[in-house]
Amino acid sequence: MKKIIGILIFIVCLAACAMPVMAEKEDVGVHATLTIVPDSGHTPSDNVKKIVEDVRSNVTAARETIKSEVGDIKAGIRENGTEVKSRYQGKYI
């Protein structure tokens, strides 16, 4: 009986030591940041407007980045296509 209680206490201590490590691992990943404007004489609607403006600017920046990356990918595909076409043009005609 004393061995079982000792083992259980040991397991509980191990679990207590492992909890902070597990919580730290769960914190890894993509985090969206949300800026909350402190209430310094602003009305709640002003705070909401500020948050909406921040979100819109972030979305616009992300959209422009995606458009740029898509353009680069399309240009690369076009280059590869013309290279392949010129390489095999005389062989199969």
Mean pLDDT of the chain: 77
* Total of domains in the chain: 1
Residue 36 lies inside a defined structural domain of this protein: yes
Residue pair 6/23 in contact by the 8 Å Cβ criterion: no
Pair 37, 51: CB distance under 8 Å:
yes
- CA 31/CA 81 separation, integer angstroms: 38
Give me the domain span that covers residue 71: 2-88
The pLDDT, as a whole number, for residue 30 is: 47
**46 Cβ partners below 8 Å, 6+ apart?**
37
92 pLDDT above the threshold of 80 = no
Decide if 93 is inside a domain.
no
Task: List the structure tokens of 77.
Answer: 């595909």
Residue 59 within any structural domain of the chain: yes
* Contact present, 37 and 48 (Cβ < 8 Å): no
Q: If pLDDT is split at 50, 70 and 90, which confidence band does 67 have?
A: very high
In-domain check, residue 61: yes
* φ, ψ at 89 (rounded to 5°): -65, -45
pLDDT band at 34 (very low <50, low <70, confident <90, very high): low
Residue 18 belongs to a domain: yes
Is pLDDT of 51 > 70?
A: yes
Note the helical H segments in the chain: 2-26, 44-88
In the structure, what pLDDT confidence band is assigned to residue 25 with cuts at 50, 70 and 90?
low
Residue reference for tokens 């909401």: 48
pTM: 0.42
